[in-house]
Amino acid sequence: MKTKIIKKSGYIELVLDEPCDEVQFGKGVLAGMTQFDDINCWLVSDMRLSNFIQCTPYTASISADDYCSTLKPENPIQRSFVLKHLREYQEMDDGTLVWCTFNKMVVGKTHINGNCPASRYGFHPPIFHSKKDGLEILRALQSFWNEYQGTLRESKVTYPRLQKNASLILMEYRAHELRQKIKNEEQGPANCF
């Protein structure tokens, strides 16, 4: 696949430079770098590191819920359910769980030259790169894509750090609660005889 790197102020992206049927609309962004807070901390995103492979102009965008997902469990059962889905997280004094989903994020460092972006709860996941290191990663990704012959969907790689965001875990928990309620109702009242 033919690709090119486009540089903008605070943002650099690797895009397809040829037509592709799998691109949803607009230009197909395969990877990107985003600068944080005008400091030399860059987040590098790679489409292949996501559960959902889609190639759009927004592929390299990272949501706030992916960068810093938070959930304060309502009870011990919910807490246990949430923790079953997490490998890397921090627990705040008030019981709030904080984690990074690593969705599309290339692992890096928590700080670059002593700097890190401001973050809710003081949470700093290891996802930052210097501009120099980020560009090296982007060039390596460009080499990969320039030689790649498969479909975009087939490019997905296994990414053991990938975790679900709070919204998805909470939705699964609510579905679990509903299944339990239905199961209990189907069993009816306990037989007293």
Average pLDDT of every residue of the chain:
89
- Our separate counts of H helices and E strands in the chain read 4, 8
Residue 46 bridge partners (DSSP): 31
| Total-model pTM | 0.84
Relative to beta strand 97-99, strand 128-129 is unpaired
pLDDT confidence tier of residue 191, bands split at 50, 70 and 90? low
Work out the number of other CB atoms within 10 angstroms of the CB of residue 104: 25
CA separation for the pair 154, 117 (Å, rounded): 34
| The total number of residues written for the chain in this structure | 193
Contact 123, 90 (CB under 8 A): yes
Q: What is the pLDDT of residue 180?
A: 86
Contact criterion met (CB below 8 Å) for 82 and 71: yes
Q: How confident is the model at residue 161 (pLDDT cuts 50, 70, 90)?
A: very high
- Give residue 113's region: left, alpha or beta (phi > 0; psi -120 to 50): left
Say which amino acid occupies 104: K
Separation between Cα atoms, residue 83 and residue 51, nearest integer Å: 20
Phi, psi at residue 147, to the nearest 5°? -95, -15
Residue type, 52: F
Neighbours of 43 (CB within 10 A): 22
Q: What are the tens digits of pLDDT across the range 53-90?
A: 888 888 888 888 888 999 999 999 999 999 999 999 99
Q: Is residue 121 within 8 Å of 185, Cβ to Cβ?
A: no
pLDDT in tens, 86-129: 999 999 999 999 999 999 999 999 999 888 887 878 888 999 99
The two three-digit tokens of residue 6, written as one number: 């486009």
Quick check: 106 and 137 in contact, CB under 8 A?
yes
